[in-house]
Chain A
Amino acid sequence: MPLVNWVRRHPDLAALLLVMIVAALVRGAMLYRAPVFATGDSEGYLAPGYALARGLEYDLASKRTPAYPWLVAFGIAVGGEDLRGLIFLQHTLGVVTAGLTFALGRLSFTPARLGRIVGLVAGLLVALNGGLILSEHTIMTEALFVPLIVGTLTALVAALRRESLALFGLAGLLLGLATLTRPVAQVLIPVIPLTILLVCRSWRLTLLRSAVALGAFGLMLAPWVIRSAVEQDSASVGSLGQSLIGRTARHDRGAWTYYDPALNADEPPDRVRARRILQQAADNGSSGKAIHTRLRRELGLTPAEADRLMRNLAIEAILRQPGYYVQGTLQRFVRMADGSVERLRDARNVADTARERWEDEPSRHLLQPATPAEDRAAPTAMLLTSIWQPGYVGPLLPVLAVLGTIVALARPAWRPAVALGISAVALLFISAALVGNVSRYRYPADPMIAVLAVGAVAWLVTWLRSARPWPSRPDRRSTGRAPA
């Protein structure tokens, strides 16, 4: 009875605890049942992170941003050389993500009771999401990127509800950190002023609040941008060139022409050579990183120069076939939104391959093959990651999320939730446009899609029950601030 009373007195806290306990239980059960996963890109983060933790010299590749290697270094500094410490940290971030998803749902939808239900269901969907659990078990940026994106949006929605400049600043700081984790987060910069304008309907407030948020964003990014400008002659975060070449040469093989003797024969010899290298790579499906390395080695370019050259040539190729590029991007966008079912076996196979191809000597020993106990536990681990995956329901969740965004746009009290819809679309679209159809790029959008989809279902249920979904005039009770 005391427990029931407590739950009645603190319903939000109880729901938050429920979500976080479920998330922690599933992740705890997964922690020692599967080996640490890695992909081909993991080396680019683990090697500098390990070097940083051990005080060794290491140059972070120009394409890589520093936040995730910092997390790796922190994980190794705290938990030692057993990467399980880092994975523990990543799963802890996963629990935080589930909690933030609850908060996002609770804050986005009013009244409080409805918001609580939306937050609870969306939080549980994220807590049990097998794809997210697998990504937290992998040495990849998503483990940090997802909580940062969800944190950014939670802070933004909370700031809109409470009209707190500090929270706008926090949203900017978190977005800056997310950009330092994966540069694609920059696509969310316009989302902040746009959402403020939609909710506040005041240019003055929009300017003031956006300035605070984007100022904090700039402050967070400034040291790294300055460092890049000084050391790599490029005042930017990440490298667009490698990504675009990855998108056109690797993920869309054979359709792009970088070297056409009829058109490019008269160009300077170095540029022609670069074109030939790119064409060869496109025909073979080489990675952006391999092409970047080859260009630097064979043409004697600096990393920034090689990246600029790749970017220019890729944009040139895209401009030659803009219709094909747009069509391909849209197809990839739809496929990513549709989702796919992630399998533990695939993650293990990819990790085995990554381990075999690992080049960085100092960090090679960190990745261990599966132990017999982990082999025995594989069925349970598979079960844990297959309890729920958004891919099971195909386009249902994205369609509901679109509906949720439209409803949020129409109802003033729910309008902050529009930020979620725009962000999810922007993240998926930018990934489709700049990189390609990689299933893990959907993960950062999963919590937002879950919140909006559940919000749409809640609206549908309300509509069916009352048969009066659109209030004749704004509901005063539901337009107020969200309770603490």
Chain B
Amino acid sequence: MSAALRLARRHPDAVCLTIVLLAAMSFKLGFALRIAPFIAKDSQAYFLPAYDLVNSGQFELGLRRVPAYPLFLAGALVLLGDDLRGIVLAQHLLGIGTAGLAYVLGRLVAGEHATAGRAIGLVAGLLSAISAPLVTYEHYLLTEALFAFSVTGMLVGLVWAYRRNGLGGWLLAGILVGLAVMVKPIAQAFLPLALVAAYLAGASWTRVASQLRWPAPTRVALVAVTMVAAGYALAIVPWSIRNQLVHDLASPSTFGRTLIARTASYDRGFVFVDPSRPEHDPTRARAAQIVQRGADRGDSDGTIAQRLRQELDLDPVEVNAVMRDLALQAIVRQPIYFAEGSLRFALRIFNGLEIRLRDHEAERKDVEWNERTRSLLAFVRSEDDARFANGLLKLWQPALWAPLPLVLFALGVMASLIPGWRLGLLVGACVTALVVASAALNGPQERYRYPVDPAIAVLMASGVAAVVVLAIQMLRRVPVAASVTTSPLSPLSDAERGSDAGAMNRAPTATDPVGARFIAPTGS
């Protein structure tokens, strides 16, 4: 017993991480092994290319799809065999890894406040471990499980790179952003944030007025930005070259269809045919009419794309370009409406939807599964197991607590203003970017939030931690205002950047007395 306690005291992070991993393992495996894999309409678009790659060596992917998830599926098929249960088991194992990464993220975000970092990491890790949305979408043949893992890994990479501020760290962070893009193109929204973070980490904060400073460029900042860009390019260029060769389109993905989904399928208020501004190009005018008709009928983006292809005899690249142009034109005509709708959708995505097992089991009924892989869908259902799994889903569902998660998230973002915790701002910006970009470019699909749920949990936990810290300070009658100081050079304190020997030209760690009486320093 005493040996175990000694071990726990010597390796507190390892102990916390083990707790998170064990909780995630028991929760996720308890779900994974009881329920047949979930299938959605999009599942086949990823699974069939993977299946064909394994069985015939051919890899044909739709224009707007990126390759990481199909390749992951192919790897799982090779390793675990032609069984969908094996694939979702692999995804749940990734989910266990995601919970572990959530712990690491929470631990890193709080910087030198080791105890607070551990508490934040532990709460975030446990919330990710028992999250109903995460476990549910790890059970789907959809990108969410891999995306959650790669986004959480990317955030850990970014925070770690910021703290070390070494070239290798920024290169790795860039690669991780690129890899996330290879899972879901929406991750391109993270690139500007990563570049800004790299710049700020190396910039020199120069006073331009009595209370105003700005980050002046330095050689270090520019090199860090270059490294992020280079890492990003390393990850996405091969696929972009492939797209150029196959589709004559040098980009990792396209947004035409998703923009039509956003403006025509999920939102009926956009106008694609405006009699006051007639189209001069007859093909384009016809395309606008098709899209308008689809929007009026509430057709899916897939149906509209198919109609455009058939009726106008266009190839997929042309269809995508037409859809993109028409959607952008409609948005430009009603920018306020677009912004208002996007914010409404973003809020809906953030608040989420209650997860019910039956709804997700039933989703496969709407899927026309390809004949050659139909045999993979044969599963025996046990009512006892379904009841148990449904019980598991009730443990932690953020949607059932709405709007509390949003409030705590906002609190976490505010808590990130505390010196030493400011990397939370980067995490918060990434979460907001993903949710808003999903709402703006695609529509109100609740599942788009789930990959950043671990990051949201980190900020929720840091919000609560900040409140606890302040409450304890108030109880002890410590004047908070006097204790909060900022670095003279940067809005991000030196404590955030770490004090390791590898840091480039770093000033000594600034005093950070918030919670100093009850938060142990790193290395305790």
Question: Residues of A with Cβ closer than 8 Å to B?
Answer: 25, 28-29, 31-33, 54, 78-82, 84-85, 88, 166, 368, 371-374, 376-377, 380
Known: A31-B80, A32-B83. A82 touches B26 (CB 8 A): no
Query: Can you list 17 A-B pairs with a CB-CB distance of less than 8 A?
Result: A25-B79, A28-B80, A31-B81, A31-B86, A31-B89, A32-B81, A78-B33, A80-B33, A80-B384, A80-B385, A81-B385, A82-B385, A88-B33, A88-B89, A374-B83, A376-B82, A377-B81
> B3 touches which one: A79, A166, A376 (CB < 8 A)?
A166
Number of residue pairs spanning A and B whose beta carbons lie under 8 angstroms apart: 70
Stretch of B104-112, B374-382, B473-481 on the interface side: B374-382
Residues of A within 8 A of B332 (CB): none
Residues of A within 8 A of B79 (CB): 25, 28-29
CB contacts under 8 Å to A, within B1-58, are: 3, 26, 29-30, 33-35
The list of the 10 closest CB pairs from A to B, nearest first, reads A80-B34, A79-B33, A85-B33, A32-B83, A80-B385, A32-B86, A33-B81, A81-B382, A373-B82, A32-B81
CB contacts under 8 Å to A, within B375-409, are: 375-376, 378, 380, 382, 384-385, 388-389
Q: Are B85 and A84 in contact (CB under 8 A)?
A: yes
> B29 touches which one: A81, A85, A376 (CB < 8 A)?
A85
Residues of B within 8 A of A54 (CB): 384
Q: Report B72-103 CB contacts with A as 1/0, cut-off 8 Å.
A: 00000001111101100100000000000000
Q: B357 to nearest A CB, angstroms? A: 13
Q: Are A85 and B34 in contact (CB under 8 A)?
A: yes
Q: Are B380 and A79 in contact (CB under 8 A)?
A: no
Apart from A28-B86, A84-B85: 15 A-B pairs, beta carbons within 8 A: A29-B80, A31-B89, A32-B80, A32-B81, A32-B86, A33-B81, A54-B384, A78-B29, A79-B30, A79-B34, A80-B34, A80-B385, A81-B380, A85-B29, A368-B380
Q: Are A377 and B82 in contact (CB under 8 A)?
A: yes
Q: B3 to nearest A CB, angstroms? A: 7
Which among B3, B33, B79, B384 has the greatest number of chain A C-beta atoms within 10 A?
Answer: B33
- Inter-chain CA distance A25–B93, complex, in Å, is 13
Q: Are A80 and B86 in contact (CB under 8 A)?
A: no
Q: A337 to nearest B CB, angstroms? A: 34
- Inter-chain CA distance A93–B441, complex, in Å, is 47
Residues of B within 8 A of A373 (CB): 81-83, 375-376
Known: A29-B80, A33-B81, A166-B3. A371 touches B378 (CB 8 A): yes
- Inter-chain CA distance A25–B86, complex, in Å, is 13
Q: Report B403-440 CB contacts with A as 1/0, cut-off 8 Å.
A: 00000000000000000000000000000000000000
Which among B79, B82, B375, B384 has the greatest number of chain A C-beta atoms within 10 A?
Answer: B82
Q: B47 to nearest A CB, angstroms? A: 14
Closest to B384 in A: A81
Q: Count of chain B residues with Cβ under 8 Å from any Cβ of A?
A: 24
Q: Report B175-195 CB contacts with A as 1/0, cut-off 8 Å.
A: 000000000000000000000
Q: A132 to nearest B CB, angstroms? A: 19
Q: A55 to nearest B CB, angstroms? A: 11
Known: A29-B81, A373-B82, A377-B81. A82 touches B34 (CB 8 A): yes
Residues of A within 8 A of B385 (CB): 80-82
- Inter-chain CA distance A376–B83, complex, in Å, is 11
Q: A221 to nearest B CB, angstroms? A: 23
Residues of A within 8 A of B389 (CB): 80
Q: A445 to nearest B CB, angstroms? A: 30
CB contacts under 8 Å to A, within B346-398, are: 375-376, 378, 380, 382, 384-385, 388-389
Residues of B within 8 A of A380 (CB): 81
- Inter-chain CA distance A371–B29, complex, in Å, is 23
Known: A31-B80, A373-B82. A78 touches B376 (CB 8 A): no
Residues of A within 8 A of B26 (CB): 78
Q: Are A88 and B29 in contact (CB under 8 A)?
A: yes
- Inter-chain CA distance A78–B86, complex, in Å, is 17
- Inter-chain CA distance A267–B447, complex, in Å, is 80
- Inter-chain CA distance A81–B81, complex, in Å, is 21
Residues of B within 8 A of A376 (CB): 82
Residues of A within 8 A of B85 (CB): 32, 82, 84
- Inter-chain CA distance A53–B29, complex, in Å, is 17
- Inter-chain CA distance A377–B86, complex, in Å, is 13
CB contacts under 8 Å to A, within B218-265, are: none
- Inter-chain CA distance A32–B33, complex, in Å, is 12
- Inter-chain CA distance A31–B90, complex, in Å, is 12
- Inter-chain CA distance A29–B78, complex, in Å, is 8
Residues of B within 8 A of A33 (CB): 80-81, 83
- Inter-chain CA distance A380–B79, complex, in Å, is 10
Residues of B within 8 A of A82 (CB): 33-34, 85, 380, 382, 385
Closest to B34 in A: A80
- Inter-chain CA distance A373–B26, complex, in Å, is 28
Closest to B87 in A: A32
Closest to B389 in A: A80
Q: B74 to nearest A CB, angstroms? A: 14
Q: B60 to nearest A CB, angstroms? A: 23
Which among A25, A85, A374 has the greatest number of chain B C-beta atoms within 10 A?
Answer: A85
Closest to A54 in B: B384
- Inter-chain CA distance A28–B86, complex, in Å, is 8
- Inter-chain CA distance A377–B79, complex, in Å, is 11
Closest to B78 in A: A29
Known: A32-B81, A33-B81, A84-B85. A79 touches B29 (CB 8 A): yes
Q: B390 to nearest A CB, angstroms? A: 12
Q: A322 to nearest B CB, angstroms? A: 50
Q: Are A84 and B80 in contact (CB under 8 A)?
A: no
Closest to A376 in B: B82
Residues of B within 8 A of A25 (CB): 79
Residues of B within 8 A of A80 (CB): 33-35, 382, 384-385, 388-389
Residues of A within 8 A of B35 (CB): 80
